[in-house]
């Protein structure tokens, strides 16, 4: 059975802002090139170093509203005054082609995705402490004090939804957290239901004996 003859796996990764989610995801994609990153749409302004089409599809509010009205999003959410959304058609097409995909979205979006893809593997990244989260947000130098306080206030609300995810990783040591993330993706591929489909010919061979 070839790679494209099976359904791809959808990985969903969420975290409070500043927990290190983006850095972990980038390291995972480098360690496992078979996983593709799903590029979301957003109305927020690009940050330094971000590229349209690679990090996000940056659109204005009018464009986002039109896509929403046309039911083009699998999930969408408002985060700190900005809107984010995932293309429904792109996700379905990639999974049906046998490609493993990763969505880097907030807990609201993750909840919507699980409703459509209940067999996805969902992962929540936790910072080691509230104090560490404050230090990370301040150290980025990207947000005003007011925005940082708003993100910190939202973090507790985000963490309250961690129990809805399949896996929880505490990002205290980056290398260790990355190993945990890689272990999750590998073990998900080895689940019995997926292996029965992927190696159907092999199981049939033994059944004929």
Structural domain includes residue 34:
yes
Structural domain includes residue 93:
no
Model's pTM, two decimal places? Answer: 0.83
Structural domain includes residue 70:
no
Longest distance between any two alpha carbons in the chain, whole Å: 69
Is residue 102 scored above 60 in pLDDT?
yes
What percent of the chain shows pLDDT beyond 90? 66
Structural domain includes residue 47:
no
Range of the domain at 123: 3-38+100-207
SS (H, E, C) 116-145: HCCCCEEEEEECCCHHHHHHHHHHHCCCCH
Structural domain includes residue 44:
no
The residues with which 10 forms a beta bridge, in sequence order, are 101
Is residue 149 scored above 50 in pLDDT?
yes
Structural domain includes residue 71:
no
Q: What angle do CA 127, 82, 107 make, to 5 degrees?
A: 40
Structural domain includes residue 14:
yes
Is residue 125 scored above 60 in pLDDT?
yes
Is residue 61 scored above 50 in pLDDT?
yes
Q: Name the domain count of the chain.
A: 1
Indicate which CATH number applies to the domain containing 106.
3.40.50.300
Structural domain includes residue 149:
yes
Region 27-53: mean pLDDT is: 94
Query: What local confidence, expressed as pLDDT, does residue 37 receive?
Result: 94
């Amino acid at each position: 059975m070839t790679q494209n003859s099976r359904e791809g796996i959808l990985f969903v990764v969420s975290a409070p802002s500043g927990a290190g989610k983006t850095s972990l995801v980038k390291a995972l994609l480098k360690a496992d090139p078979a996983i593709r990153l799903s590029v979301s749409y957003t109305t927020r302004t690009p940050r330094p170093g971000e590229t349209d089409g690679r990090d996000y599809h940056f659109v204005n509010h009018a464009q986002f509203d039109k896509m929403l009205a046309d039911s083009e999003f699998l999930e969408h959410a408002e985060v700190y005054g900005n809107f984010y959304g995932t293309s429904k058609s792109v996700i379905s097409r990639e999974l049906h082609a046998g490609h493993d995909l990763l969505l880097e979205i907030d807990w609201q979006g993750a909840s919507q995705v699980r409703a459509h893809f209940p067999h996805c593997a969902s992962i929540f990244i936790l910072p080691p402490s509230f104090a560490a989260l404050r230090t990370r947000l301040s150290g980025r130098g990207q947000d005003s004090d007011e925005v940082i306080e708003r993100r910190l206030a939202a973090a507790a609300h985000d963490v309250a939804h961690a129990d809805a995810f399949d896996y929880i990783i505490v990002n205290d040591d980056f290398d260790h957290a990355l190993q945990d993330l890689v272990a999750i993706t590998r073990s998900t591929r080895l689940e019995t239901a997926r292996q029965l489909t992927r190696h159907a010919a092999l199981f049939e061979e033994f059944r004929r004996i």
